[in-house]
Amino acid sequence: MATKNVLFVLTSHNKFLSGKPTGWYLPEAAHPYYVFRDAGYTVTFASPAGGKAPLDQSSVEMFKEDKQCQEFLNSQETQDLVNNTHKLSDMDVSKFDTVYYVGGHDLTTDQTSIQLIQKFWAADKPVSAVCHGPTVFLEVMDTKTGEPLVKGKKVTCFSNEEEKQAGLVDEIPFLVETQLKAKGATFENKREPWGEEVVVDGKLVTGGNPASAAGVAKALLKMI
C-alpha cells in the first residue's frame, strides 16, 4: 500500500580527492523535490552522517537563475530538511514508497546504504539515482539471484564524456560509467552531453545528470 512518503538520500561527502569542496548538487534535490511535493508526497531527507548535508556551492552559482533552485535555497521549510537530515541507519523501508539518491560520492561501499537498497528492491519498491548517484548500486546484490543488482540492466549516469568536460576525471576515485559497465550493466547514453536522459528498467530508475533529475522523479511517480 502506498504511503505517499519518499526518501531522498543526500551525500555527507564534502571534498574531492584534491580537497576541492563538493556536496549534493542543488537542482538534483530541488527539481525532484517539487515534483513529489506538488503530487502530494512527503519527502524525507537522510544522509550517512545525519545532520547538515554539505551543498556543492558551485551548483548555487550555476543555478542562480533557476526559479525552483532559488525557492529551495531560500525556503525555511526545505533548508530545515537538508540541514537536519535523518541518519540513513534510522530509516525504515516500510515507511516509504521509493528511494532516490541525490548524486554524491560517498555511498558506494556504505553498508547501511547497500542494505537499504537491497530491502527496497526485495520489497518490490523502485530505487533510483541521478548523475554520480548510480555509484550507490555498484556493490548492491540482488538477494534473489545473488548477482549484482545492475547486471544485465539498462542504466545511465554522469557519462565519462561529461566527466571530461566538467574537469572531474582526476577529482573522483573512479568513473561511474566505467564501473557500471564492469558490473555487467548496459549503459545507455543517447543524449548530447548535459542533455536530459532517464532510463527505466523494471524498478530501477537512473538519470544522467542534473538536467535529468526532474525526469527521474516523474518516472517514479508513474510507478508508485
Q: SS3 for 25? A: coil
pLDDT at residue 18 in the model: 66
CB atoms within 10 A of CB 195: 12
Active site residue 163: yes
Instruction: Give residue 145's region: left, alpha or beta (phi > 0; psi -120 to 50).
Output: alpha
pLDDT at residue 173 in the model: 81
CB atoms within 10 A of CB 91: 18
Query: pLDDT, tens digit, for every residue of 6-56?
Result: 999 999 876 765 667 688 999 999 999 999 999 999 999 999 999 999 999
Contact 85, 45 (CB under 8 A): yes
Least Cα distance to 110 among 88, 81, 126, 93 occurs for 88
Least confident segment among 2-16, 27-41, 84-98, 128-142: 2-16
pLDDT at residue 19 in the model: 66
Choose, from 28, 162, 163, 197, the residue flagged as catalytic.
Answer: 163
Choose, from 13, 28, 132, 162, the residue flagged as catalytic.
Answer: 132
State if pTM tops 0.75. yes
Active site residue 197: no
pLDDT at residue 74 in the model: 97
Active site residue 132: yes
Choose, from 69, 105, 131, 197, the residue flagged as catalytic.
Answer: 131
106 has a pLDDT exceeding 80? no
CB atoms within 10 A of CB 59: 23
Please give the share of the chain, as a percent, with pLDDT higher than 90: 85
Q: What is the mean pLDDT of residues 171-176?
A: 86
Least Cα distance to 159 among 210, 108, 201 occurs for 210
Residue 103 binned pLDDT confidence (cut-offs 50, 70, 90):
confident
CB atoms within 10 A of CB 132: 27
Distance CA 72, CA 94 (A): 27
